Amino acid sequence: MAIPLWTGTIITGLRFKTKNSLAHILPQGTPTPLIPILVIIETISLLIQPIALAVRLTANITAGHLLIHLIGNTVLTLSTVSLSTTLLISMLLALLTILEVAVALIQAYVFTLLVSLYLHNNT
């Protein structure tokens, strides 16, 4: 079974740069009674970051595709009723498609930036 990239990075960071990796989990000067709780919370946070990033990216892509699909179905349904309305909604669909391309580029940038930050913090 292959280890995901982010898990391998965490393990490599803990193995070769133990002090730096643990510094992210437990800040200096933490009161002794809080240490076990902070270690658990920070470890869970560290493991959930890539999952949250994947869910965010999937939700944004799905929302855009769903909206385009719904407007496309509306264009097909209205094509038999009114030509002028069909042309208007078709233009809206074309503009929405351009917007989706722009959103996809922004999502790719944000995804790459966040993955880079996550990997940098753990190595």
Domain count for the chain, please give it: 1
Residue 5 lies in a domain: no
Residue 107 lies in a domain: yes
Residue 112 lies in a domain: yes
Instruction: Locate 3 and state its tokens.
Output: 């280890």
Alpha-carbon gap, residue 27 to 35, rounded angstroms: 9
Contact 75, 89 (CB under 8 A): yes
Residue 92 lies in a domain: yes
Q: Which residues contact 43 (CB under 8 A, 6 or more apart)?
A: 25
Residue 35 lies in a domain: no
Residue 11 lies in a domain: no
Residue 74 lies in a domain: yes
Query: What confidence score (pLDDT) does residue 35 get?
Result: 83
**45-68 pLDDT, tens per residue?**
877 887 888 888 888 888 888 888
- The domain in which residue 100 lies consists of 60-123
